[in-house]
Amino acid sequence: MIYSMTGYAAVARELPWGALALELRSVNHRYLDVSLRMPDELRAVEPALREAIAARLQRGKVECRLQLNAASGQPKPFELNMGLLAQLRALETKVRVAWPAAREMGVHEIVRWPGMLGSDTVPLEELRAATQELLVAALEELNATRAREGERLQALLFERLAGMQRIVAETGPKMPQILAAYSEKLATKLREALAGGDEERIRQEIVLFASKIDVDEELGRLGAHLAEARRILERGGAVGKRLDFLMQEFNREANTLGSKSVDSATSQASIELKILIEQMREQIQNIE
């Protein structure tokens, strides 16, 4: 199975202290790039999230959004964290001794200090465990969507490879006839240019030029690359980079086929090959 780098997943869970929601989006990228968006009070779980995502995904630009909405129902009375308040007061006193011009903190700043209101605090270990469970579910859903898209891409690539195989198979048998016709045409022109000159020299010139326009090697390499591409696709896994490299090799052989062409059939074969290669290259950019 191969995986696309494009996918989406969203999961949520109701907990005693609120509703936890996690969303994953991924698009194609040269390597794994993870960005996390979450409120400051949830930052403690960020390292664990990054580690879990990196363990499941190999490539792609992944955006993870984590939100926590307080539990609805009867409002809970606010309770000041008196220990934290005392620490904050002592800290402010030290600052004002060192910097007398510093202004005093206002009430609104004090109550907004992280962890100051006891009703806003969330048990860290419970939050960490719940987030891990939610991420596992989200990654399963994300990988399922990436696998479905990967299956579609795999079928499309096999179809393009079959088209390339057909072109190579049709071009090969035509080459002896093309070379013979072109050699005869070249011999006629050489005899005219040399006014019936040395036949041995004419034969040597034809053999030399025929070797320059012979595309057997290019067709052979194209066949080998096609077999390798099918093998990679059938093996599955993270194959995007390998396939991208093969596209460069395909393109090189198709260009050489076109540059050596002395016949409209081989020129057309080169053009059709390059169209199929470009179509494949665009799709391979989305494969992990």
Over residues 225-271, the pLDDT tens digits come to 999 999 999 999 889 999 999 999 999 999 988 887 777 888 899 99
Would residue 2 count as lying in a domain?
A: no
Would residue 212 count as lying in a domain?
A: yes
Flag whether pLDDT at 208 surpasses 80: no
- Residue 190 vs residue 273, higher pLDDT: 273
Tokens standing for 210?
């025929």
Strands 18-27, 32-37: parallel, antiparallel or unpaired by DSSP? Answer: unpaired
| Segments of 152-234 assigned E as strands | none
Flag whether pLDDT at 197 surpasses 90: no
Q: Please check whether residue 243 is in contact with residue 230, taking contact to mean a CB–CB distance below 8 angstroms.
A: no
* CATH number of the domain bearing residue 217: 1.20.140
Tokens standing for 35?
């960005």
Cα dihedral 176, 180, 181, 186 in deg (nearest 10): 140
Give the domain extent around 98: 82-111
- Residue 207: per-residue pLDDT: 59
Q: Please check whether residue 262 is in contact with residue 182, taking contact to mean a CB–CB distance below 8 angstroms.
A: yes
Q: Do 168 and 198 fall within a single domain?
A: yes
Q: Do 164 and 217 fall within a single domain?
A: yes
Flag whether pLDDT at 106 surpasses 90: no
Q: Do 24 and 68 fall within a single domain?
A: yes
Confidence of residue 40 (pLDDT cuts 50, 70, 90): confident
- Residue 156 vs residue 70, higher pLDDT: 156
Flag whether pLDDT at 140 surpasses 80: yes
How many structural domains compose the chain? 3
- Residue 200 vs residue 85, higher pLDDT: 85
Flag whether pLDDT at 13 surpasses 70: yes
Would residue 118 count as lying in a domain?
A: no
| Identity of the highest mean pLDDT range in 65-69, 89-93, 122-126, 279-283 | 279-283
Confidence of residue 5 (pLDDT cuts 50, 70, 90): very high
Flag whether pLDDT at 189 surpasses 80: no
Interacting residues of 169 by C-beta distance below 8 A, sequence separation 6+: none
- Residue 49 vs residue 211, higher pLDDT: 49
Would residue 46 count as lying in a domain?
A: yes
Flag whether pLDDT at 76 surpasses 60: no
Flag whether pLDDT at 74 surpasses 50: no
**Residue 177, Cβ density class (10 Å: 0-12 exposed, 13-18 middle, ≥19 buried):** exposed
Interacting residues of 142 by C-beta distance below 8 A, sequence separation 6+: 7, 8, 9, 24, 26
Q: Which helix (H) or strand (E) holds 37?
A: strand 32-37
- Residue 184: per-residue pLDDT: 66
Nearest alpha carbon to residue 269 among 247, 281, 253, 282: 253
Q: Do 163 and 208 fall within a single domain?
A: yes
Amino acid residing at 86: A
Flag whether pLDDT at 156 surpasses 70: yes
Confidence of residue 128 (pLDDT cuts 50, 70, 90): confident
- Mean pLDDT on 49-72: 89
Q: Do 141 and 156 fall within a single domain?
A: no
How many residues comprise the chain?
288
Q: Do 270 and 176 fall within a single domain?
A: yes
Q: Do 138 and 203 fall within a single domain?
A: no
CA distance 5 to 62: 9
